Chain A
C-alpha cells in the first residue's frame, strides 16, 4: 500500500479519475420530485423522472448553480453548454437514454491542488442525470442468474456532476489523495455530502502503465465499482500489477471496462472496446442550450467560501514563516478536512499559541468533529486560554474539552465540577519536594544533567496529585531545586 507501485520494476501507472457526485439539490434535475436518499422505493417519482410517454424535462436552476460552484472551486472555465442524449437500454434508466452533457460541458479546463502541492488538471465537470437502482433478487443475485429484479426509480433523475481528471495521477496514494481532496472541495461548495458509502460520490479509474521516464500513454482499462478510498487504492494497485505482468511477458493490455470485486481483491473484464456500447449521442431536442449569464456567474462566485487548499494555507500562515514538519502538515490537513479550521484561526486570532491551537483541534477536537463544529469559538478559545495560562494541565484541558464538545457548557464550570483547580505554586513545590525525597537515585541522575528524567518526575507528581499538576510548572520547580 505505497506510492509508486511498479516504479521499482521500471513501470509507472498513469491514472485519470472520473468522479460522479450527486448534488444536494432539493429536487431532481428535470422535475419537481424530492431528491432524497433512503426513502420508500418509488415514492419520489412523477411522469417526468419515470420517463412516461409525453413527459418533458425542465432543467433545475439549483443544480446548474451547484455545478457552477463546483466548476469555480476547481478553477474551471464556465461555458455555454448543451445537453445530449446518451442512448442505451437498461431497465433502471426510465427513458432508455440518459440526459448528459457531451462535447459542450458547462465546466472545462480546471485543476485541483492536492495537500502535497501537486496539481491534477480537471478536463471537465459536467451535469447529467442519475439512473434508478436495480436490486437482483433470488437465484444467484447477479443480473444474469437472479430470479427477478426490482427497480427503485427514486434516484432516477437525481442531478450528478461528473468530474473528469486528466491522466495526471501516478500512484494509488495520489489517487486517494485526489479523491479525498475532491471530496473536501465538493463538501465545501455545498454541492455534496461526500458520502461514498451512500453512493453520493462514486469513482471510476482509468488506468494504464508505461515505462517510467517515457511520456507516451499505454492502453488503458476503466475500473468501475470503487465504493471507498480503500477500494480505489487497492484496485489501482491490483490493476497496475496486472498490466505490468502482461507487458513484462510481451503480452498486450486490451482496452476494457473492468469490475472491481472488493471481496476477492481483483478486477475482472466486463466488456471490451469492441463490445462497448455505441451511445449514439445527439443533442437533446427537449432542452434548450444552457448559458448562465455573467451576472449569475458573479453571484455564484461571490457566494463561494474558500476551498480546502486555501484554508490550509490560511492555517499554515497562522504559524508565520518558516518550515513546517510533516506532522504539522497532517494536523493542518485534518482540521481543514473536518471543517475545524475556523476554530484554529479564531484561537490564533485571540492570542493562543498556533501550535497549541492546531494540536488540540487536530487531535482532541477532531475525535468529536460534530461536537467541535457545533461549539462556540469563543468558548473554545476560553478553554485553550486556560491551558495556555497553565490554569489547567494538558491532561485536564483534554478532559474538559471532551465534556465541552459532548455536552456543551462553560469550560471553567466544567473544570470546577471535575475538581481541576490547578495546584497553587507553593503546594506544588511541596509535592515536588516529597517526590524528590522519595526517589533519591533518580534525583541524583537528574541533578547531574540527565534532563529526560524530568518526565519521570512529572509522572510521579501527576500520580500523587491525580493529574492536577501542570507539567511545565513541575519542570520549572525541578530546575529551581537543581539550581
Chain B
C-alpha cells in the first residue's frame, strides 16, 4: 500500500493519475468493505470527478495541492455539503448538510479526494464503533474484534487500505484508541489547532479533529493541510499552525522524555512491554528518558465522564424533530420531541444525555460539573509541572489490544475504561499521538502514545517519528487491500 505523501508526489509529477489512485481505492472498498463496514457512504462518482479535476490541473501545469489525488476517508460527524452526514444516528439518518466543514474545504484545497464517510459510535460516544445505528465496523486484523472507537471506520479505512489517510475526531481518545487497536497512526492536535466548524459537536471543550495515517509523516502532512486559524470557530487558535511534516525525521537527540507511571499502571503486560521498549529505543536514539508520576491523571476519567456528558446533553438538545432529521409525529410539540428523541437516539447516547443533564442540574452543578472543572484545572497544572522537566511524555494508548465484538457492550464502565490513557490529553487540551509498536501474542497491534504540551506538535512528531523508526515490523491485517 502506498502512503499519502508518496501518492501525492506521484500524482503531482504526472507519474500516476489521480483517477487511477481513486479507482484502486474504490476497488478495495468494493472488495473488502462488505465485511469491514468502515464506510457508511462511498462517494464514488464525486471522487472520480474530483480526481479528474486534479488530473486536469496537473496536465495544465497547475499546482494541484500538496495532497493531490490522495484518497481521504472522513468520519461521518464532519459535515459534507449535500452528502448524508449521520453521526451513525437514526436521528440524522437522512440529513444532508447545506455546508462543508472547514476541514473538508481545506482537504479539497490541498487536492485531497474525499472518497467516503466512515462509521462511528453514535455521536462519537463509544470505544468500539458498536454503538452505530448502522451496524458495527470490524477490525481488519481480526474481524471478530472491534476496531476501537469512536472513529473506528476511519481507523479501519486506513488500516485496510480503503483510503490513504482519514480524518476522525477525538473527544476522549476516539482517534488514538482505534488507531492503536488497528495498527495505524492517530493524532489528536492541540485544542484549537484544527477548526471544529462543521464537526458535529459531542463535547465542545474536548472535541478535536485529527488525522489517521499509516505513517507518522503522512499523519503530519494531513495535519498540516487541515490545521490553522478559522474565523468561523471562536476557539480556533489565532496564530499560524506549525508545519510539522519536516520534523518527523529530525531525531530526538537531547530531548527529554518521561514515561508516565499512571499511563502504564494497570495496563496489560504486553502493552507495558511495548511502551518500555519504545522508551528504550528513544534513549538509544539520543533522548534522555526516565519515568515520571503524575498522580492527578487518576482523576481524569471521573472528570471526563461528567464534563463530556454535560456538554453533550446540551449539544444534542437540538435534535428535537422540529427543523431537520427524524421526526416522529405526535399530538403536540412536547410529545413529538419526546417520541423523536426516544426513537432517534441509541441507548449509549441516551445514557450520556441523562448523566449530563443530572450533572448540570440545580443543586448538583457544584458537586459534579463544577468539581470536574476543578479537576481539569488540576490536571493541566500537573502536566505543566511535568513539562518543566520533559519535552514529551510517553505511555500506553490503550489498556489492552482489540477486544471481541460484544465483549463490553453490556458493561458501560468497562467500555469507558478503554479511554483511561487517552482522556487526560483531552482534558488538558494537549496534543497526543498513537504510534504502532509491535503486537501482542495473538498478533494484534499495540499502540504507544506520545504526549506533548499545548502547541507541542513539532516535538511530539519528532518523538513519534523516532518511535516509528524503532518499532518492530507491523502486523499485516487479515483483510487488506491488494498491494
Contact = CB atoms under 8 A, between A and B. Distances in A.
Given A54-B97, A55-B197, A144 B332 contact: yes
A282 B310 contact: yes
Contacts of A149: 333
B322 interface: yes
B401 to A, nearest CB: 33
A286 B77 CA distance: 17
Interface residues of B, number: 45
A278 B317 contact: no
Nearest to A87: B314
Contact of B234 (A59, A87, A96, A280): A59
Contacts of A54: 77-79, 85, 97, 99, 101, 197-201
Contacts of A59: 234
Given A58-B232, A286-B234, A96 B317 contact: yes
B200 A53 contact: yes
Interface residues of A, number: 31
B118 to A, nearest CB: 16
Please name the 10 residue pairs, one residue from A and one from B, whose CB atoms are nearest each other, closest first.
Answer: A96-B317, A280-B360, A285-B204, A285-B205, A53-B200, A54-B198, A54-B79, A54-B200, A91-B322, A278-B362
A94 B320 CA distance: 9
Contacts of A52: 97-99, 324
Nearest to A278: B362
Contact of A91 (B77, B200, B333): B333
A287 B235 CA distance: 6
Interface of B: 77-79, 85, 87, 92, 95, 97-99, 101, 196-201, 203-205, 231-235, 310-311, 313-314, 317-318, 320, 322-324, 332-334, 337, 357, 360-362, 365, 369
Interface in A62-96: 85, 87, 89, 91, 94-96
Contacts of B205: 285
Contacts of B199: 54
Given A54-B97, A58-B231, A280 B314 contact: yes
Contacts of B98: 47, 52
Interface in A130-161: 143-144, 149, 151
A286 B235 contact: yes
A460 to B, nearest CB: 74
Contacts of A96: 317-318, 320
Interface of A: 47, 50-59, 85, 87, 89, 91, 94-97, 143-144, 149, 151, 278, 280-282, 285-288
Nearest to B206: A285
Nearest to B123: A53
Contact of A56 (B78, B92, B232, B311): B232
A50 B323 contact: yes
B234 A89 contact: no
A95 B198 CA distance: 15
Contacts of B99: 47, 52, 54-55
Contact of A57 (B85, B97, B234, B317): B234
Given A56-B196, A58-B231, A94-B323, 18 more contacts: A47-B99, A53-B95, A53-B201, A54-B77, A54-B78, A54-B97, A56-B197, A56-B232, A56-B233, A58-B232, A87-B313, A149-B333, A278-B362, A280-B361, A280-B365, A282-B365, A285-B311, A287-B234
